Structure 1
Amino acid sequence: MKLYHRAALLCSVFLGLDLCAVAAQAQTAAPQQVPVPSPLPQPQDIPYPGKMQISVDATDLSRRIMSIKEVVTLPPELSQKGGDFILLYPMWLPGDHSPSGTIDQVGGLEVRSGKEVLPWHRDTVEVSAFHITVPAGTRELNVSYQLLSPVSPDEGRVVMTDVMENIQWSAVSLYPAGYYTRQIPVVSQVILPEGWQYGTALRADGPQKGNTVTFKSVMFNTLVDSPIFAGKYFRKFDLTQGDQVPVTLNVMADKPQYLNATHDQIARHKELVRQATLLFRSHHYKHYDFLLALTEHLGRIGLEHHESSENSGPLGYFTKWDETAAARDLLAHEFTHSWNGKYRRPADLWAANFNTPQRGSGLWVYEGQTQYWGYVLAARSGLMTVPQTEEAIADVAATYSAQAGRKWRPLIDTTNDPIIAQRAPLSWRNWQRSEDYYSEGQLIWLDVDTLIRKLSHGEKSLNNFAGDFFGTNNGRVMPSTYWISEVSSTLNSVQPYDWTAFLHQRVDQINPMAPLDGLTRTGAKLAFSDKPTDFIKSDSLLRHTTDFRFSLGFQVNKKGILTNVLWDGPAWNAGITRDQQIIAVNNEAYSEDVLKEAITEAKGKNSQPVVLLLRDSDNFHTVSLPYHDGLRYPYLSGNLTEIKEILSPLEPEKSDIKQ
């Protein structure tokens, strides 16, 4: 008897014919999709009928663990009847433009009602949502868990070291689903290591008690927007200007000697505040706290907030001032975000809570124009010299002139990259394009600025747009959202022109050539020299790389490992890829100087090629590069008068300040 017939006979004997028919149908029917769980409740713009308390113990430095305790008062209706209560872990974080919440670092979750441990389960679709079964009569929940922060960069961004820590409330808090985060009140508390100081946009609610700081009640969206820097070695510098709105530079460092700022250096940071206020004709913070970590151990960061910013810089930010110019536009960039990004925000980048997806179609304004003002304000305040800023602009112009990916991908599509790649390493960055809306956006806004100046015969500039667009509702902290049509209409009010078509062509369409009209319109030209500029030297020093992008077409770190290879450049055409290691150059052991000498000696059509011995994992191979144009480093030549004018400090009588 065949196996199938025997199985059918047994089925009919023991189960009955109807059940056998169902079983047979189940074996032959195509699978059907299982319905997904019910969606989470949509956030409502109504007050949360309860409150939250969050306490973070950040003293376990050796194990890099933060321990969190929350008390969540339940809505009266749920308390009376019982049911499903949902807590969310923040995932869509402002400034990251992607679902980058560190949900993978959460451990030890326990929920109690009094002494009773309540069951919870994670939503199988929205894995950052925790469903808690609440018995009738439960008035509040006691929630505890840990943030198991990375102990090394291999596991993620390091936020705790022996001498400093970065407490981001998005990483150490759960909040109720179903409400706008601006409607959820919360009292927060942090326990710091003994003797440590801290900086934050939050304000303490009374004197500090031992190592414990309790902050005034704020809404949950404000809490998440107010991180803490705390450290053993810490200094505060007052940057407050004539408007008497408090601004503080909070600095922590790996060692105390790196906090030794000069009077002149702090004066330049004060001038940054003054120049930004003159430019934007307003402030949108009750007080502002720069948070700056000078470190080689805490993870790198540059993240904007409405009344503060998280920044990291090199140890020698103050003590090796002449070598760190390439890092000194960061504070100007993040400070600009208080106006551009936090106050004025693209409508699709604003969300009711931290678990609603955001869309980044306006990032070329949000980040691109901020990148532009970051350079300009750094120069106007003296954080960078005008020549250093010109050199930085030249590097941007050369980089995006060599960006091969512009042949297939419009700039607007790169605004999706925070979600697509989440800043993971890319094999062919200048072909894939990555987040080009930053610096290519910067070139577009230089184009806009110089065109306004030309059309208005020098009477108007992008300064006027900055005041008109970002200077509304002086003193208001609540965000004011916009669509791109408002950007075009405000530009048109400053200087009549078809700005919609202008921006559409540069942002939405494929452009094989970089947008360098902003340079050429002024008489400046992108040129190349066989000597690196001071800015390139500083940038290479800070990144621990040597730049050969505009000669052989790659960058290489101190160990000879290729960190970036340009698509369709000489190295790419020779079959070289990133992560290979240069062992020898023309049969001589590799060093930065040896490679530079070989490139120089190969200059001229009749010269010998540059020969590299490369290691690729356990394999070695030799590559010949028939490149004969010598070392090439970008700089600006020609008439730089208008560039210098753009970078010149504003004064009250020239700044269009509204009286």
Structure 2
Amino acid sequence: MKPHLLLLTAALAALSTPALTQAPMSRPQPLAPVNDIPAARDIPFTGTMTLAIDATDLRRGIYRVRQTVPVQGNVAQAGGRMTMLYPEWLPGNHAPRGPIASIAGLTITANGQPIRWSRNRGYVYGFDFTVPAGTREVVLDYQHLSPTTPAQGRVTMTPDMLNLQWEKMSLYPAGIYVRNVPVAASVTYPVGWTAATSLDVDTVPSAAGAANVGAANTVRYKRVSYEELVDSPVFAGRHFRKWELTPHVNLNVVADRPEDLAATPAIIDAHRRLAVQAEKNFGSRHYDEYEFLVALTDQLGGIGLEHLKSSENSHPRGYFTDWAKGSAGRDLLPHEMTHSWDGKYRRPADLFTADYRQPTIGSLLWVYEGQTQFWGLVLSARSGIMPVKDVRDAIARVAAYQSIIPGRQWRPLQDTTFDPVLSARAPKPFTSYQRSEDYYNEGALIWLDADARLRELTRGRRGMDDFARRFFGVNPGDMGINTYTFEDVVATLNALAPYDWTTFLRTRLDGTGPAPLDGITRGGYRLAYTDTPSDWFTSREADAEVVDLTFNIGATLDKEGVVNSVLWEGPLFDQGVTVGTKILAVDGRRYSAADLRAAIAAAKTRRQPIRLMTQKGDLYRTVDLAYYDGMRYPTLERVGGGSSSLDRLLSAK
């Protein structure tokens, strides 16, 4: 079209099109939130729920569940709505992590007739249905599907063992405290397997100890509350061994292979001393029997989870057989047993809820987890689970890491107690800057400082041992939950040694700045660095399957040379290296961890940059790393002579 015709056409079009009027912007109002699930009340529950689980489908990892639920009150007589809930806020997780998507195949019947259910519109963990008049109980059938690969979640069933967690494969009635709902549970295990749990057995093929399933492979457990059931998981397996550590504490171990169960008497003695030292430390117990549930496995998903009368623990297959190769990670059982007192019996008031729908608040996780981390290390040393020097080396790494992370300049420790909800332990690009669940390790440093301060204030007469007995060791034999507040913590410290403990704690929790290392210096040591790794540091690298260069070039790498953490503003960070970068070559030679360490050490005297060939995606580039401080490994260096307060803290009682 010619230019003048194009202009004419446009003009005619403009004349024929009516002018658009500016309409008011639409501004709808949202619908009111749906919140029609009754709040939990502290009222009795009529009858007993039953929960029957078939855990024999090992090839597919399927738990088949049948649950009967008595219908309550007027609904039983006249009919009406019922709501069953799946646990969302899981104890010990400090976050809403209930795997609701793992429940499949749900059907509900009453008097043999199917009942249609619907998911609650305001709460996806709720299932609503209407029962006809005169219904005494409803029957729920469904499956809980274990992840079959780690990419789907934590694997809980393998051909040789399983970890049955009741809260993952059960529902509970809305509107009532979970501690008031009685449950009679049973499990059908694979033939020939042995199961261990803190639950008392009602019907068992073998009268001794754990259920030796044999041919009669259904085990019925005595009735407990739903709250206690959730707190009483099961480990079961083909290859099993049990050791009685004390009259009140048992070590139950399942393994991928029978040879993995070959523990020497010395190893078992260390675990026996752990049980003895823990009870001495806290001065009482809140269990009739305590069951360590331990999996030695490369197949079952890893775990460390606390309960009042038991704990779920996993270690690599060589936990017993490679004992002499190093102690890193061995503070797990001491940590989890400590939780029987710290976290399960004495529980922060804002972490206690009436059911598993109400959110928990972790404002005191620096006690719940931080002091537990502290006692886990102390009891590791006192029992011999870890050599005392290894415990000091573990403290040194914690102190060194907390000293160098720039995240502490903007984010106070108190704020990290939200991390279970914010991050759910998902990988982060710059953990050292974003921070993570630092209330564990930095919390331990605060309690180390508190111990040294108590000893100083009382001229050595009192320390954290006294706090443990006064705070956690109260009411011997009480197997309920005893809640506390920040003010209760301060009051107990003041009863031991008058001091401004509120300021002591709040400045460390709410402030930003240097790491709290006073417990180390008051304890007779100082943080130092050496160019040679300790035995513990080497074993930690092996246990975590990393090359830990955090304190020199500012990164950790996996065994293939792929970077899996980068220190914010560290040497590699300054060169633009991020998580996921692969180091292909070091000074012109194919990457190996040994060559990289050697190059870092040599650069200290050579004073020439380390040349790295890196790959990130399809981008290859050369990095000249001008780092000249050599290899640096944290250690605690003794200051002064004689016995220090830290030495006394770590000594067996």
Range into which the TM-score falls when normalised by the shorter chain: over 0.9
Q: Which residue of 2 aligns with 1:421?
A: 423
Is the Cα contact below 8 Å between 1:349 and 1:359 reproduced in 2? Answer: yes
Q: CA deviation at 1:27?
A: 9.8
Taking the aligned partners of 1:355 and 1:289, their CA distance within structure 2 comes to 28
TM-score by length of 2: 0.94
Query: How many residues align structurally?
Result: 624
2:558 is aligned with 1:557: yes
Is the Cα contact below 8 Å between 2:374 and 2:447 reproduced in 1? Answer: yes
Identify the match of residue 40 of structure 2 among 35, 39, 43: 43
Moved more, 60-69 or 636-645: 636-645
2:162 is aligned with 1:170: no
Taking the aligned partners of 2:578 and 2:183, their CA distance within structure 1 comes to 51
Residue by residue over 1:359-398, the C-alpha shift from the partner in whole angstroms, topping out at 9 and shown as x without a partner, is 0000000000000000000100110111111111111111
Taking the aligned partners of 2:577 and 2:26, their CA distance within structure 1 comes to 52
Q: Which residue of 1 aligns with 2:311?
A: 309
Q: Which residue of 1 aligns with 2:652?
A: 649
Q: Which residue of 2 aligns with 1:13?
A: none
Identify the match of residue 75 of structure 1 among 63, 72, 77: 72
2:237 is aligned with 1:231: yes
2:633 is aligned with 1:633: yes
Identify the match of residue 250 of structure 1 among 242, 252, 257: 252
Is the Cα contact below 8 Å between 1:317 and 1:324 reproduced in 2? Answer: no
Q: CA deviation at 1:78?
A: 0.5
Is the Cα contact below 8 Å between 2:306 and 2:339 reproduced in 1? Answer: yes
Residue by residue over 1:616-647, the C-alpha shift from the partner in whole angstroms, topping out at 9 and shown as x without a partner, is 11221111111000011111112373322110
Taking the aligned partners of 1:508 and 1:222, their CA distance within structure 2 comes to 35
Q: CA deviation at 1:287?
A: 1.1
Is the Cα contact below 8 Å between 1:316 and 1:324 reproduced in 2? Answer: no
Superposition map of 1:23-42 within 5 A: 29-42=26-39
Is the Cα contact below 8 Å between 2:35 and 2:122 reproduced in 1? Answer: no
Q: CA deviation at 1:76?
A: 3.3
Counterpart residue type for residue 230 of structure 1: A
CA separation of 1:571 and 1:29: change in aligned 2, threshold 3 A? closer
Counterpart residue type for residue 614 of structure 1: T
Taking the aligned partners of 2:113 and 2:613, their CA distance within structure 1 comes to 67
Q: CA deviation at 1:146?
A: 0.7
Moved more, 189-198 or 609-618: 609-618
CA separation of 1:364 and 1:472: change in aligned 2, threshold 3 A? same
Is the Cα contact below 8 Å between 1:314 and 1:324 reproduced in 2? Answer: no
Taking the aligned partners of 1:34 and 1:615, their CA distance within structure 2 comes to 51
Taking the aligned partners of 1:324 and 1:426, their CA distance within structure 2 comes to 29
2:603 is aligned with 1:602: yes
Q: Which residue of 2 aligns with 1:119?
A: 116
Is the Cα contact below 8 Å between 1:531 and 1:631 reproduced in 2? Answer: yes
Taking the aligned partners of 2:503 and 2:593, their CA distance within structure 1 comes to 46
Is the Cα contact below 8 Å between 1:85 and 1:133 reproduced in 2? Answer: yes
Taking the aligned partners of 2:509 and 2:403, their CA distance within structure 1 comes to 16
Q: CA deviation at 1:426?
A: 1.0
Q: CA deviation at 1:233?
A: 0.4
Is the Cα contact below 8 Å between 1:76 and 1:139 reproduced in 2? Answer: no
Superposition map of 1:235-314 within 5 A: 235-240=241-246, 244=247, 246-314=248-316
CA separation of 1:324 and 1:215: change in aligned 2, threshold 3 A? farther
- The alignment partner of 1:440 has SS state of helix
Taking the aligned partners of 2:242 and 2:52, their CA distance within structure 1 comes to 25
Superposition map of 1:92-103 within 5 A: 92-103=89-100
Residue by residue over 1:222-249, the C-alpha shift from the partner in whole angstroms, topping out at 9 and shown as x without a partner, is 0000000000000001011xxx4x2111
Moved more, 563-572 or 322-331: 322-331
Taking the aligned partners of 1:119 and 1:615, their CA distance within structure 2 comes to 55
Q: CA deviation at 1:573?
A: 1.0
Q: Which residue of 1 aligns with 2:144?
A: 147
- The alignment partner of 1:251 has SS state of strand
- The alignment partner of 1:205 has SS state of strand
Residue by residue over 1:122-162, the C-alpha shift from the partner in whole angstroms, topping out at 9 and shown as x without a partner, is 11221000001211222111101111111000000011111
Q: Which residue of 1 aligns with 2:510?
A: 508
Is the Cα contact below 8 Å between 1:443 and 1:515 reproduced in 2? Answer: yes
2:112 is aligned with 1:109: no
2:179 is aligned with 1:182: yes
- The alignment partner of 1:602 has SS state of helix
- The alignment partner of 1:198 has SS state of strand
Q: CA deviation at 1:324?
A: 4.0
Identify the match of residue 338 of structure 2 among 330, 336, 339: 336
Structure 2 stretches lacking a partner, 5+ long:
1-12, 14-22, 206-214
Taking the aligned partners of 2:295 and 2:553, their CA distance within structure 1 comes to 35
Q: Which residue of 2 aligns with 1:541?
A: 542
Taking the aligned partners of 1:618 and 1:114, their CA distance within structure 2 comes to 63
Taking the aligned partners of 2:234 and 2:221, their CA distance within structure 1 comes to 12
2:615 is aligned with 1:615: yes
Structure 1 stretches lacking a partner, 5+ long:
3-25, 651-659
Is the Cα contact below 8 Å between 1:95 and 1:304 reproduced in 2? Answer: yes
- The alignment partner of 2:385 has SS state of coil
- The alignment partner of 2:202 has SS state of coil
Identify the match of residue 476 of structure 1 among 461, 478, 487: 478
Taking the aligned partners of 1:27 and 1:34, their CA distance within structure 2 comes to 21
Identify the match of residue 412 of structure 1 among 414, 418, 427: 414
Taking the aligned partners of 2:58 and 2:24, their CA distance within structure 1 comes to 57
Is the Cα contact below 8 Å between 1:111 and 1:141 reproduced in 2? Answer: yes
Residue by residue over 1:278-328, the C-alpha shift from the partner in whole angstroms, topping out at 9 and shown as x without a partner, is 110000112110000011111110000010000001211111112241121
Is the Cα contact below 8 Å between 2:451 and 2:519 reproduced in 1? Answer: yes
Q: CA deviation at 1:36?
A: 2.2
Q: Which residue of 1 aligns with 2:5?
A: none
Taking the aligned partners of 1:504 and 1:29, their CA distance within structure 2 comes to 49
Taking the aligned partners of 2:611 and 2:585, their CA distance within structure 1 comes to 8
Moved more, 28-37 or 126-135: 28-37
Is the Cα contact below 8 Å between 2:326 and 2:535 reproduced in 1? Answer: no
